[in-house]
Structure 1
Amino acid sequence: MKKEIKLNNLHIIGSEEWCVFESLGIPAIKARVDSGAKTSSIQASNIKVYNKGAQEWVKFEVNPLQENRSIAIGCDARLIDRRMVKSSSGISEERLVVRTPVTLGKDSFDIELTLANRDTMEFRMLLGREAINGRYIVNPALNYQVQGFSDDDINKKYVPFFKEKTGLKIALLASNPELYSNKRIMEAAEARGHEIVFLNVELAYMKLDAHSPEIRYRGGNILNEFDAVIPRIKPSVTFYGCALIRQFDNLGVYCLNSAEAISQSRDKLFASQLFSKNDIHIPITGFAKSPMDTKDLIRMVNGAPLIIKLLESTQGKGVVLAETNKAAESVINAFKSVNTNILVQEFIKEANGQDIRCFVVNNKVVASMQRQAEKGEFRANIHQGGTASMIKITGEEKKLALKAARVLNLAVAGVDIIRSNKGPLLLEVNSSPGLEGIENATGKDIANTMIMAIEKKLKFSI
């Protein structure tokens, strides 16, 4: 016969409560009370299962305070189960389960906890119905009914865990430490009191594991203490670089540009489709597979002269001007014959070899320059002899630049715009824009602005 529970014997609990885990060494952690979830869960990282005698135990780290990765409490508990748990997104995954005493106000009792990655969640802990059943009744309109802690209380409880920290630890994930842009970013980070480490993309490797995923660097060093990563991935290592960025993100490290955003910006066809879908004006662009469609493809973009671009071109490389229809047809079919994907784009004659580079950081245009192509060239690219000068952009151009970066979800972007008789047109968006040309042309310290953007995101104050 089931035990009857009288409602008047139950304490009122709010939708948010503070929990204390003395046996785990956690002085206080804020929990979301969720009667829809069967088991409670807690944020855990660096999970390692080991044997203690005949039993399995698990070591793990908890970052108990949201948006404060500097406090990591090492925990140790006996492993009691492995369970398949379906997340709120509907994906099933195996989670380790431990049993430990929890204290809510004056009450202490044992609960089961699944160890989960809750870095993207608002709360570091979820208190499920098994923990509250027979003990509490939930009033979702209230908070902290069992026990409330002020900010001062929490600061006092965590004084022993605060590390003396003069700055963030940042990784610059790139390929060449001698490039101007990479040197400037490292200088700017150090000038603001941060520790910054250059990581060569191709010397890092990863361990994929549900319990203890890792990123290691040549020699076996585990990369697990970074607050942020600044990715500057060259096109030839886009796939591997984005894989590393995803892994850093999975480990709870903030990445200034996400892997998805970088991948989208590198695929010129997909990016063009996104721009078209979001009503961002670009030069008329065509794409086809069969050589049988070449002539109509040329007509579709208003005929020669026209631009032919490799899908993954960068810094003006892989971009060709075809001055006649016959020349365009020959070049397009030559590319198709070797299974190379290209875009065909209308040529904006009235631009006179000029374009505008807008540097966007966190939804703000922080600098703009006008680039002029070298005499006889059609494309304004500083790497190919072009010149740069500061320019004041129009409000319409500013909106275009911000919208393009936003559509690709890039926190840092170099947005290239061309002026035409139809108004400003978007040429492309670069996810790893160079700093040399625009810093020299505008006199602005863009590297410093990038570091400040990381500080703002991580709520770090000097």
Structure 2
Amino acid sequence: MSKTIIGSQEWVSLPELEIPTIKVRVDSGAKTSALHAVNIQPFQRNNETWVTFDVYPIQHNGKKVIHCEAVVIDKRVIKSSTGNRENRYIIKTTLNINDTTWDIEVSLTNRDSMGYRMLLGREAMMGRLIVDPESSFIFGDLSDEDVNKRYKANVQNQGGLKIGLLASNPNLYSNRRIIEAGERMGHEVEFFNIRQCYMKLDAETPEIHYRGGKILNDLDAIIPRIRPSMTYYGCSLARHFESIHIACLNKAEAIRQSRDKLFSLQLLLKNGVSIPTTGFANSPLDTNDLIKMVGGSPLIIKLLEGTQGKGVVLAETKKAAESVINAFKSLNAYILVQEFIKEANGKDIRCFVIDGKVVAAMQREAPPGEFRANMHLGGTASLIKLTSAEKKIAVKATKAMGLDVAGVDIIRSSKGPLLLEVNSSPGLEGIETATDIDIAGLMIKSIEKKLNWKAKK
């Protein structure tokens, strides 16, 4: 057999591990090839030892990850280039270089500190390859765009879902985490700016277009994360996606009614969910009775259109309450007046609910001098153990709104847990940081469940 000349670094693929391309350092001084692998876990299958492991095949890229499994053929002590000795699992897999494929042995190890995710040793090259140390990428170098195309094609070949993230800012932590989680789990996730989407309403060929005329009708699902100022248009888009049978993680109608503070409270009460005593009126002449209705001062005054703690005032005296209420009403602003739960002591609980189950919870404490509605100004968050009553009220509220995913805010009172608000686009940063739970991944799993999707083995 004639031998093939290769350079000191090349792009190869590992077909059995479904790694479409990976840059290798060719090292004839190393006996055994090595592959960067993390989360290595052995298990038994048909009386054989196997391992599952994750490969991040592109250096300095935490988004692209391939979940792998392979039978273990050996476990050896291997000395690294730095002189460290490590007991490694050895697997056998296929290597493809320049359209030629053969089996090689590979050791699994964490190569994060190395410049290459894979090292090609002399055992894999014997009888087939000759190294020209002065050359690199004899079979062609790949640009970042080429690498991305190969991985996108690989996702599609694996039957990954095409998911659209419908939002306004691609740089927000929550949006970045959702994209990262989706890609990590084998799907193609693309960000679409709500403002740059537009609709074709037609009985025969309804369509949703994106800037430049790109048609989005081939998406499998969308995740709408609609900022309050874009509620009307964002819900209109989500409704159109639904009409062309694209799955939505939170439907338009559920988002719309959760954004209507008064209607959402009425809906919650109708479904037996307890809330702080709340008043609503439209005449300044009713101010005194309105204050008395909720137990007097101190009390909380909320702008009906306010969001995330904005437009929320704690009135500590009756006189302060009258001034604020009348000031808001002079602006023709609708308001809610709500009893102040003193025993909450500036704290509330954020529950994250997905598919009718509380998957995470944290306690938030307002900054000094503020109160619980002003958590957007800072404050602290910590783990908390929920009572069964608190879990029940969070799930019940989410179901009442018809939401698949929700952030549910509750407070503890002498009357038991009371619901404050249900958020249809809850942020992920605080709850993921406080609980160390992969909320973004659970959201992607919810879509998989909705579409009965299973990863190709």
> Which residue identity does 2:419 align to in structure 1?
L
Q: Which amino acid aligns with 1:283?
A: P
Shift of 1:383: 2.5
Residue number in structure 2 paired with 1:155? none
Given candidates 286, 289, 293, the residue that maps to 2:279 is: 286
2:451 and 2:158 map into 1 onto residues whose CA distance is 14
Q: Are positions 1:271 and 2:234 aligned together?
A: no
Is 1:368 aligned with 2:361?
yes
Match of residue 245 from structure 2: 252
What is the rounded CA distance, in whole Å, between the counterparts of 2:320 and 2:371 in structure 1? 16
2:429 corresponds to 1:436: yes
On the 8 A contact 2:165/2:223 being kept in 1, the answer is yes
Instruction: Name the SS for the 2:212 alignment partner.
Output: coil
Amino acid aligned to 1:288: A
Corresponding residue of 1:77: none
The one of 376, 391, 396 equivalent to 2:389 is 396
| Superposition misfits of 4+ residues, deviation over 2 angstroms | 163-166, 380-383
CA shift digits 1:404-426 (9 cap, x unpaired)? 00000000000001000111000
2:217 is aligned with 1:230? no
Q: CA RMSD in A?
A: 1.0
Structure 2 residue aligned with 1:305 = 298
Q: How does 1:327-366 map to 2 (within 5 A)?
A: 327-366=320-359
What CA deviation, in whole Å up to 9, does each residue of 1:168-206 have, x standing for no partner? Answer: 000000000000000000000000010011000111010
Residue by residue over 1:128-165, the C-alpha shift from the partner in whole angstroms, topping out at 9 and shown as x without a partner, is: xxxxxxxxxxxxxxxxxxxxxxxxxxxxxxxxxxx844
Match runs of 1:70-85 below 5 Å: none
Check whether the contact 2:239–2:251 (CA below 8 A) recurs between aligned residues.
yes
Give me the whole-angstrom Cα distance separating, in 1, the residues matched to 2:369 and 2:375. 14
Can you list the C-alpha shifts for 1:267-307, whole angstroms capped at 9, x where unaligned?
11001101111111000000001111111001000011110
CA distance in 1, matches of 2:350, 2:433: 13
**Pairwise CA distance, 1:166:** 3.0
Task: Structure 2 unaligned segments of length 5 or more: list them.
Answer: 1-155
Report whether the alignment pairs 1:451 with 2:451: no
1:382, CA displacement in angstroms?
A: 4.2
- TM-score, normalised to structure 1, is 0.64
Conserved 8 A contact 1:382-1:437: no
Rounded to whole Å, the distance in 1 between the matches of 2:373 and 2:421 is 13
Shift of 1:380: 5.4
* Distance in 2 of aligned mates of 1:329 and 1:257: 39
Residue in structure 2 matched with residue 64 of structure 1 by the alignment: none
Do structure 1's residue 205 and structure 2's residue 198 form an aligned pair? yes
- How many correspondences in the alignment? 300
In structure 1, stretches of 5+ residues that fail to align are 1-162
Q: Structure 1: how far apart are the matches of 2:261 and 2:167? A: 21
- Determine the C-alpha separation between the residues in 2 that align with 1:356 and 1:367: 11
TM-score norm. by structure 2 comes to: 0.65
Shift in Å at residue 381 of structure 1? 4.8
Q: Percent identity?
A: 69
* Correspondent of 1:407 among 396, 400, 404: 400
Alpha-carbon distance in structure 1 between the residues aligned to 2:222 and 2:299: 39
**SS of the residue aligned with 1:312?**
coil
Deviation at 1:453, TM superposition (A): 0.5
Deviation at 1:207, TM superposition (A): 1.0
Is 1:418 aligned to 2:411, yes or no?
A: yes
Partner SS, residue 314 of structure 1: coil
Contact 1:365 1:402 in 2 (8 A): yes
- Secondary structure of the 1:424 match is strand
**Are 1:305 and 1:346, in contact at CA under 8 Å, matched by a contact in 2?**
yes
User: How far apart are 1:259 and its partner, in Å?
Assistant: 0.6
Q: Assess if the C-alpha contact under 8 Å between 1:371 and 1:381 holds in 2.
A: no
Give the letter for the 1:402 counterpart. V
- The CA distance in 1 between the partners of 2:274 and 2:254, in whole Å, is 20
Paired residues of 1:268 and 1:312 also in contact (CA < 8 A): yes
